[in-house]
Structure 1
Amino acid sequence: MRGLQVAYSPIRDRFVVELAKKVDALFERQDIEIALQREPAPALLSHAMNIASRSFGQEKLEALRNATVSGIFYSPQNVNLTALVFSMLDRLTDGHISMLKEIANLENATDHHVPWERVKMIGVHFMPSPDGMKSPTRTLPINGEDRFIDGLDIQTNEILLADMVSLGLVEQRSESMTAIHEWSTGPSQNLFGYALVTHKGRLVLEYISEAK
């Protein structure tokens, strides 16, 4: 197992190079030196590099770079928030981050909470053939042709959603629809589920987004 314990990390090194390029493009040399001399800066940089060394996926690494820039250069006083966001990013995957962004975008576009069933379909592709699918499910014909989706993709989305709910980034709400009459199944069935990005989720998104 010794061969697995190597200090060299190409992902971490690429992360550092891209981070340096980003910082160099955004700030003057004097401002960079001042920011790096602040007491928490070395520890935060070390934390970010450690996360990068065990990460993969461009979405996550870019989010980590943006969070590093935000925490060290734009909001150096919010050390606790930066550490919280770093710890969250260490836990999240590309799938979490992409889904969180998409829910927020859909929320902003519709000015309303996003139906839970719609969120479960984010990134799920309709394919002309079930070949290569783990759990192929036939859908209604589209333009006269049969289409298939992989049920495993939906199950993965459900796991990602449940994870983000447990982390406090997304909230699942139920809203009653206006009932014309009592349903035989009872009022508990007369509900629609919606996904809502929480205040904590919005803070994380703000931190991991490209600084304007």
Structure 2
Amino acid sequence: MVIIKNLKLEFSNRVIFENLNLEIKENKITAIQGPSGIGKTSLFLCINSMIRYEDDYKLSGEILYKKNDNYIDLLKLDENQAQDLRKEIIYVSQHPDLLPMSIYDNLNFFAKTHKLENKHERILEALKQVYLYDEVKDILHKSAFNLSGGQQQRLILARALLLKPKLLLLDEPTASLNESLSQKIEEMLKNQNITISIISHFKSQINNIADFCYFLEE
């Protein structure tokens, strides 16, 4: 699905990483581990085309993404092409980027934007997938900012699942969840049958769900 070759990222003349080579295999879960500040999140933002060769960033190498049986280099896309690819390569931050809307509209906004069919049914199903529906079914009209940190984290995960991405990039998706909920989310992700890459500092989580694991180091 994604083949990264000799990737180098610099920011303000500081090398974040270089000579990075890895592969995210189709319909598998690939884990990314490494110490804080090594560039794990930056790597996901490069794959998602949120970091591009502009401003203070410098990128070189290749990020080859399989699309329609052909590989395209994500580093060579223009902004319009990058925006289109973000509809199928979805990054879920460890810091919930909620909209100033209700719980329901935080999902419905994207359902409308992506012109999804059966929006209401798919929204409810996404909430159930992340074990959030029972907790919010009576307060869907209330602000998403009223939710706890763990609930907000599950809401943005529900949003990603709602859009049915081809590649899902998860940055510490269970960091704010208790052990029981974390295990339920892990099992749900294992059953998605889509391509997933996950950043996690939980070794037990990596052992449980990852098909492959890369450790980034200096």
Question: What TM-score range do you get, normalising by the shorter chain?
Answer: under 0.3
TM-score, normalised on structure 2? Answer: 0.26
More strand by share: 2
More helix by share: 1
Higher relative contact order (CA 8 A, sep 6+): 2
- Return the index of the structure with the highest Cα Rg: 1
